[in-house]
Amino acid sequence: MAAVPITFACGLYDRTLPLYTGEVKAEGIDLNYLAIDHPREIFDRMQTAQEFGASDMSSSDCARHVVHGDCRLVALP
């Protein structure tokens, strides 16, 4: 079975660096890690165009979407 392509937008944090370098790979996923150093840019691009399959997002920004009835996103702790 072919790996599922997922684009992930996130800053280069020490906790996610192994995903960026390829040292850690998720089984069944072909990960395209987009390193974006400005969180607001990630949040805005997810809100308007949902450009990424997954992204870093603050819990307050995610809660704001839910409160306004926008339940298109799924939060993972």
Flag whether the pTM goes above 0.85: no
- Taking the domains of the chain in order of start, what are their residue ranges? 4-67
State residue 28's pLDDT score. Answer: 95
- Only one residue has tokens 């450009």, namely 51
Q: In what order do the strands lie in the sheet with 29-35?
A: 29-35, 4-10, 54-55
The number of CA neighbours under 13 Å toward the Cβ of 32 is 8
Work out the average pLDDT over 69-75. Answer: 76
Amino acid at 24: V
- pLDDT, one tens digit per residue, over 5-15 is 999 999 999 99
